[in-house]
Amino acid sequence: MLKVVRAERSPVLTEKLRTSCKGLPIVLLTERAGRAELETWLSASDACLSLHRSEGLGLLPIEAMYLGKPVVATGYGGVTDYLDETTGFPVRYELSRLEHAHGPYPEGAAWAEPSIDDAVASMRMVMELPEIAGERARRAGERVRELYSVPSAAARFIGELDRILGPIPEPAASTPSAEALPDAAGSLQPRG
């Protein structure tokens, strides 16, 4: 399955992809999809391929890793916080500078051109060596939970607040006074 986001912005490229997919066991999806559909597709996939030129965080690879899927992705940008040779298959790339602004990227921004040959070799490894791919996917699941679970994110947030504001004192445990205990309906009623 090949999911293309914002295909309507590049009709020539989209048509080229359609032509290239004819006769191959490839489903090309270009329509917008809801969250439930995306989650279903990701859950049903064998692996995730994310070749990008610039990536802030990389939500798709994180979600795939969380589900225990092997990930092959350009080894550039935000994905390097969690993707390496122990947790996935980083794809080599060559850096260049944008000659013209492209979307949110200004002229002169760094742009990674992923190696298609390296991506193909990594995808073959995923399919031909499932024990290696499985072990990397297992480690990836551990890593993304360690970095992005709610408790981990909360601990980092508290750490940053402590760094900025100083340690925050623990709230004192409060107990209701004898005069204001809840009655059977949960309302506070004076007791005497």
192, pLDDT greater than 80? no
**CA 69 – CA 133 distance, rounded (Å):** 8
| Whole-number pLDDT of residue 133 | 98
Secondary structure letter of residue 114 according to DSSP: E
| Whole-number pLDDT of residue 177 | 53
Q: What is the pLDDT of residues 7-50, one digit of tens each?
A: 898 899 999 999 999 999 988 999 888 999 989 999 999 999 99
How many Cα atoms are found within 13 Å in the side-chain-facing hemisphere of 175? Answer: 2
5 or 122, greater pLDDT: 122
CB 4 within 8 A of CB 29: yes
Give SS3 for 20: helix
Nearest to 50 by CA among 32, 31, 76: 76
141, pLDDT greater than 60? yes
Neighbours of 66 (CB within 10 A): 16
State the average pLDDT over residues 96-110: 90
Q: Directed axis angle between helix 130-148 and helix 150-165, to 10°?
A: 40
Query: Considering the chain, what percentage of its residues have pLDDT values greater than 70?
Result: 89
With bands split at pLDDT 50, 70 and 90, how would you rate the model's confidence at 2?
confident
88, pLDDT greater than 70? yes
Q: Which helix (H) or strand (E) holds 97?
A: strand 93-97
State the average pLDDT over residues 89-98: 96
Q: What is the pLDDT of residues 144-189, one digit of tens each?
A: 999 999 999 899 999 999 999 987 777 776 655 545 555 555 544 4
| Whole-number pLDDT of residue 173 | 67
Strand pairing partners for 181? Answer: 189
CATH of 37-140, one of 1.10.40.60, 3.40.50.300, 3.30.70.980, 3.40.50.2000: 3.40.50.2000
Q: How many residues does the chain have?
A: 192
Q: What is the DSSP string of 129-168?
A: -HHHHHHHHHHHHHHHHHHHSHHHHHHHHHHHHHHHH-PP
**CA 59 – CA 82 distance, rounded (Å):** 11
| Whole-number pLDDT of residue 191 | 43
Q: List every span in the chain annotated with CATH 3.40.50.2000.
A: 37-140
**CA 15 – CA 55 distance, rounded (Å):** 25
